[in-house]
Amino acid sequence: MVKRLAAKQEVVVFFTIVGLGLVIGLVNPAFFTAGHLFNLINSSVVMGIFALGVLVVLLSGGIDVSFTAIAVFAFYSTVKFLGTHNFQGSLLVPFGMATLIGLGLGLVNGFFVSRLKLMTLIATLGTASVFRGFLLTFIGSTIYTKLPSSMVAFSRAYLVEVVQGRARYGLHAGILVLAACALLTWFLLNRTMLGRGIHALGGDRVAAERAGFRIERLQYFIYAFSGAIAGIAGIVHSSMARIAMPSDLLGHELNVIAAVVLGGARITGGKGTVTGALLGTFLVTMITQSLILLGIPSYWQQAVLGALILVGTALPALQAKRKEAVGGALGGVS
């Protein structure tokens, strides 16, 4: 049983987090303060929501690099529209609008991947540029600091607060949005026929077709789901930052994809879990924010992250080779 647990990528990532945390905490005890841990969790919220959409795409054997562009398009358009109409209503409205916008843009990705049969990386790389260009050209490039009152109230919502010296730290309510998205994604992947189809598509497209799954519809759903999740992440990000800026979130795509892969998702599809994606997200957040406590310069943080990605992708490959070697040896004996 111990060997079985040790073979799981999620377990490896968990103990990496614990080990890295202990090292950082021994060098700088500030790591173990409630304020710093709350900041780490809060910083993981938006990235964690993104990771859930990326996980679904990776499981299907695809890759999406347009999710940050979708998020920016969704939250900026929502904030501008609601601000223009002096909206003062429920928080559900901006969340609903951004989710629908994200879903619609995700369907555009689905069209290029499903109908036009484009490579997923090329398709989403192209749509990311189109979405950003359209946003800046036709919707606007002004930075909005005045958000709807419900989003401002959400930005100040904390589940727990602590005071350290003159500073006040809290666990943001955005963690509840992440938890809800995680539960929804877990249910989709593990308790529905759609989830089985996503796993099957990533494992073997031909076998998935023979099993009766309609691949085109499945791909539309996958990218629509990823887009909707990105829209939700966008509103959470804009609320927590208290700003709507059209140039926001640029360059975060690779960190999110790296986090999901570190959590055990196979880049070629068919394998990955919600737990692994969230653990990978927290590990990447630790690397990008906490290594400074060890006195490590920021440019070395990228090197550490890159090394972990290499190790995280190499281990499953080595385990698969070992299984194949053992299987071949047993077959030869028989």
3-state helix, strand, coil in the chain (%, to 5): 75, 5, 20
Task: Report pLDDT for 294.
Answer: 74
Confidence of residue 320 (pLDDT cuts 50, 70, 90): low
Average pLDDT value for residue range 25-46 = 91
Hey, how many other C-beta atoms are within 10 angstroms of the C-beta on 11? 17
Task: Report pLDDT for 165.
Answer: 75
| DSSP annotation string for 78-108 | HHHHHHHTT--S-THHHHHHHHHHHHHHHHH
Better-predicted residue by pLDDT, 124 or 317: 124
Model-level pTM? 0.93
Task: Report pLDDT for 310.
Answer: 77
Task: Report pLDDT for 134.
Answer: 96
- Whether 71 contacts 50, CB under 8 Å: yes
Better-predicted residue by pLDDT, 235 or 30: 235
- Whether 177 contacts 239, CB under 8 Å: no
List the domain range (segments joined by +) for residue 306.
2-333
Beta bridge partners of 135: none
Task: Report pLDDT for 41.
Answer: 95
- Whether 205 contacts 120, CB under 8 Å: no
Assign residue 248 the CATH number of its domain: 1.10.3470
Mean pLDDT (the chain, rounded): 89
The region of weakest confidence among 228-237, 259-268, 314-323 is: 314-323
Average pLDDT value for residue range 117-143 = 95
Q: How many domains does the chain have?
A: 1
- Whether 38 contacts 170, CB under 8 Å: yes
**Cα separation, 55 vs 256, whole angstroms:** 10
